[in-house]
Structure formats: C-alpha cells, structure tokens
C-alpha cells in the first residue's frame, strides 16, 4: 500500500478504458520509482530493453515471458515474484520450482 501523497503521476493506456500504464511514486530516497503494468497478451517483446528491479507476475506466466523477465532483472540484480495457483497442472514453469523438476529446452 502506498500513501496517496507519494503518488506523483498516473498515465493511462491508450485504447483500453480505465487501464493504467505507469504509476510514478516518490521514493523514500527522494527519487522516483516507476511501476509499469503489462498484460501477458502483450507478449515477451513488451518487456525487452528494460532493466528492471522487481517483477511481480500475478498469474502463471508463459515460459517465454518468465524467461524474458529473468533476463531484464539481471541488469539490476532484481527480484522476481510469481503468485499463482497451478490450475494447468505440472507445466514447465511449475516444474522449475519442484525438486527434480524438468525444464524442457
């Protein structure tokens, strides 16, 4: 949760009613943090080129998007969080988190 006074600016996504693109937040350091919201429908390419500090995937991501997020985090030694219920069973992504899981290349 963020205090309202810390929110500096909110930009809207073009073509989607009420959809947020970015949120600018005053950081305790005095700088500005930028939250960027994406959907899986935008594909892996929408993440390319950005060095990220934190990624939070709130549903099971396709492996291509998960892998792209990992690459983007390497620049800043960032962290990835993924919160989902494995409704699709033992997918490649789920197996990555299990002892002895198999990752298909």
Give the residue numbers marked as catalytic: 59
Asked if 75 and 52 count as a contact pair (C-beta separation under 8 A), the reply is yes
The kind and range of the H/E element at 26 are: strand 20-26
Tokens of 66: 């998960």
Helices (H) and strands (E) in the chain, counts: 2, 5
Alpha helices in the chain (DSSP H): 63-74, 92-96
Measured CA to CA, the distance from residue 15 to residue 99 in angstroms comes to: 43
């Amino acid at each position: 949760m963020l205090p309202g006074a810390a929110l500096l600016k909110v930009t809207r996504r073009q073509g989607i009613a009420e959809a947020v693109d970015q949120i600018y937040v005053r950081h305790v350091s005095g700088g500005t943090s930028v939250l960027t919201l994406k959907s899986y429908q935008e594909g892996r390419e929408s993440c390319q080129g950005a060095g990220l500090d934190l990624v939070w995937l709130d549903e099971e991501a396709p492996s291509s998007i998960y892998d792209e997020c990992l690459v983007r985090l390497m620049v800043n030694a960032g962290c990835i969080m993924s919160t989902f219920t494995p409704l699709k069973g033992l997918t490649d992504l789920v197996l990555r988190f299990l002892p002895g899981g198999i990752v298909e290349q």
